[in-house]
Structure 1
């Protein structure tokens, strides 16, 4: 199954690859050159197909956990000042996606969209510390039953040149549903309340709509 954002490029690539294979077969007499061109064209098609794959994720939806919005590797876990929307301290969890990861963005929780904004910007490498504030990006705030407001940010990287964001203010969304797509390498930042219990570690690989990123800390009752 492939994501709808890749339909045009998949069809275009397929046509070009078929053209290269056929033309090289009839027009090139040098065997090694013909084979090299044909194999190279087929490899490009395979890479495009794997990039736009959209595996079905039917995990159990719940209000108690924040799930990973994307596939990738956790590269940041720290307390930071979130200056765009909350303007206070939050726990930031950042997930980096390489070109071979699934690039579908999924809603990390069930709730209502309160804020959704696109920002044009630079194309620093996605792991750069300033990428979250200076790169092309979209910011989405989701009001959830358990955690209150959480924020996730799609960030373009050095290769990513288009971010697709489906979140619209006022819309009710469900955990694990398709929230957008980032083309060709990028990262997603989550900004969570300080009372969130983080369930992942730096360097850990996560799976969108399946890996638990955070749960709510259990408040201890006062002892007398």
Structure 2
């Protein structure tokens, strides 16, 4: 069984496992540099702490009502549009948002696909061509789209997994977008959000079917 790092109990917030690896180098170099070059040491230690804070992973209370779709990410709704015969709702994750992604609807994971691509700002229209990971659950898809700085998308599910609504399905480092291609039976009248709305992963209801 994996053990939490020694400092895990000291942090005032939980973080994803990947955060410790990313924070280790600046923390070690910062601690070694602090006695000799205090400003540099402090800056590196602050970078390590900032990396941990960025990768925080708070618990969420997911609504239990039937027929609802919850937000896949924290952030601002940046895309609401038709995608063929279905609707796409995209959430832009700013650098200050939690970057853990959650399943908008319960389902069975059929496929997890990685598509290489560009790294344009995740809030721009051209970001649809960016690198992305698609979690295909049959009746819906969750697309995690890298931003200009994000290079690490970490899915936490694989084909054959069953996910509950609001369950953690992965995370992404340093800014990006999470889009849901909604089930075919969700139409515009079912949407409860519009572009510019703030949402929280696993908690905010973005659509409700009759």
**Would you say same fold, with TM above 0.5?**
yes
- Counterpart of 2:17 in structure 1 is 4
TM-score, normalised with respect to structure 2: 0.85
| Equivalent residue for 1:206, pick from 169, 174, 199 | 199
Tell me how large the CA RMSD over aligned residues is.
1.8
- Counterpart of 2:166 in structure 1 is 176
Of structures 1 and 2, the larger Rg is shown by: 1
TM-score, normalised with respect to structure 1: 0.80
How many angstroms does 1:57 deviate by? 1.3
- Counterpart of 2:8 in structure 1 is none
Q: Deviations over 1:53-111 (max 9, x none)?
A: 11111333444211111111101111123xxxxxxx21111100111111111111111
| Equivalent residue for 1:67, pick from 53, 67, 70 | 70
Structure 1 residues 41 and 7: alpha-carbon distance in aligned structure 2, compared to 1, 3 A threshold: closer
Q: Give the total of aligned pairs.
A: 194
CA contact (8 A) 1:139 1:153 kept: yes
Q: Which has the higher strand share?
A: 1
| Equivalent residue for 2:33, pick from 4, 17, 20 | 20
Q: Which runs of 5+ in 2 are unaligned?
A: 1-13
Structure 1 residues 5 and 62: alpha-carbon distance in aligned structure 2, compared to 1, 3 A threshold: farther
Secondary structure of the residue aligned to 1:47 is helix
CA contact (8 A) 1:70 1:188 kept: yes
Secondary structure of the residue aligned to 2:140 is strand
Q: Which runs of 5+ in 1 are unaligned?
A: 25-33, 82-88, 144-148, 219-224
Stretch deviating more after TM superposition (188-197 or 69-78): 188-197
